């Protein structure tokens, strides 16, 4: 069976096949309100809107913050506990790079608010 954008359907035996089709083709299933006396839930297939520039920037900021936290933990192991790490200088340099990049990205995000 072929599914397409705009198909309207209820939860039935084909629902999981539709969901798989949507996942493979960058589509999504959305519940819609449709007048039905039986109280059934109706759904349709829609295109997934492409992420906007602000969303992409926020995703990049999140990834960089996660990386920064991990690098900071590694640096603290050396500074607080006297551990030795062969990548200590690399981690410190990377932290500085991330902080600068985050500043740039956060300024850019403010343009979209």
pLDDT of residue 35: 61
**pTM (two decimals):** 0.60
pLDDT of residue 29: 84
* Dihedral angle, C-alpha 66, 67, 73, 78, nearest 10 °: -170
Q: How far is CA 8 from CA 42, 46, 53, in A?
A: 7, 10, 31
pLDDT of residue 22: 84
Measured in degrees and rounded to the nearest 5, phi and psi for residue 38 equal -80, -10
Question: Can you give the pLDDT of all 113 residues of the chain as single tens digits?
Answer: 678 888 888 888 788 888 888 888 888 888 876 665 667 778 888 887 777 899 899 999 999 999 999 999 999 988 888 888 899 999 999 999 999 999 999 999 999 87
């Amino acid at each position: 069976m072929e599914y397409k954008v705009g198909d309207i359907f209820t939860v039935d035996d084909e629902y999981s096949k539709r969901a798989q089709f949507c996942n493979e083709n960058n589509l999504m299933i959305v519940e819609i309100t449709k007048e039905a006396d039986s109280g059934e839930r109706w759904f349709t297939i829609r295109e997934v809107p492409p992420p906007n520039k602000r969303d992409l920037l926020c995703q990049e900021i999140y990834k960089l913050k996660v990386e920064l936290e991990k690098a900071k933990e590694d640096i603290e192991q050396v500074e607080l506990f006297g551990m030795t790490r062969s990548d200590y200088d690399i981690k410190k340099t990377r932290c500085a790079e991330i902080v600068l990049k985050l500043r740039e990205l956060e300024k850019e995000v403010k343009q979209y608010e």
